[in-house]
Structure 1
């Protein structure tokens, strides 16, 4: 994996292209989402549950975007920084900086940990 691969991954996230996203994940990947009841957030294991989790974000926030993304890779580890924004059905918006920590094996992502600033939801303007 390279920083260019991570850029391509986030370009696919922004196109809401699940095939393009999942191309980078190993079958046994673990994804720890930004929120959830456990110390690690919500955990998804395997490409099916992970694809469903990503697609769920796009369904609940059709304008979801990871803007200003930048990336670096050092051996089997990588980091992506971004600004996430998205609008829910009720018009409330999220806009917050975040990052992902990646672990790679054999050119694929085997672990993705997502972190995002805990910022209040922005209320819709009427």
Structure 2
């Protein structure tokens, strides 16, 4: 079985590789995703519906930069801070900062609680 650190790293990597199916495989059937708005999505199907827009092709490119990861093996939990860097077709870059709290049991994510640094999702310009 993979270590918690390997699970978290592989899971977060699916967002950059665009592998939607692989991302969903990390969740247990009874898992819960709490999105940045506080809405709970229960079960793999609902989580897939909620996260699908993150994987849809658009006219911009995006990339998650993992800025820090804290692994708590005893609690089977990871805190992952990230910056989503978005490059528009004209080359303009912007970013959203966030945090995912991931709880894992038996090698599967049972809870993904996502936060962003604003009451509403806001995008800041970056150089």
Fold conserved between structures, TM > 0.5: yes
User: Stretches of 4+ moved more than 4 A in 1?
Assistant: none
Q: Which residue of 1 aligns with 2:25?
A: 23
Structure 1 residue ranges without an equivalent (≥5) = 36-40
Q: TM-score, normalised by structure 1?
A: 0.76
Q: TM-score, normalised by structure 2?
A: 0.75
The 1:43–1:96 alpha-carbon spacing in structure 2 relative to 1, beyond 3 Å, is same
Q: Which residue of 1 aligns with 2:9?
A: 7
Aligned counterparts of 1:108 and 1:68: Cα–Cα separation in 2: 20
Aligned counterparts of 2:62 and 2:96: Cα–Cα separation in 1: 12
Aligned counterparts of 2:84 and 2:8: Cα–Cα separation in 1: 16
CA contact under 8 A between 1:58 and 1:64: conserved in structure 2?
A: no
Aligned counterparts of 1:55 and 1:48: Cα–Cα separation in 2: 10
Q: Which residue of 2 aligns with 1:79?
A: 79
CA contact under 8 A between 2:94 and 2:124: conserved in structure 1?
A: yes
Q: CA deviation at 1:105?
A: 1.4
- Equivalent of 2:46 in 49, 54, 72: 49
Q: Tell me the matched-pair count.
A: 117
CA contact under 8 A between 1:64 and 1:84: conserved in structure 2?
A: yes
Q: CA deviation at 1:94?
A: 5.2
CA contact under 8 A between 2:70 and 2:80: conserved in structure 1?
A: yes
Q: Secondary structure at the match of 1:64?
A: strand
The 1:43–1:94 alpha-carbon spacing in structure 2 relative to 1, beyond 3 Å, is farther
Aligned counterparts of 2:88 and 2:29: Cα–Cα separation in 1: 30
Q: CA deviation at 1:60?
A: 7.1
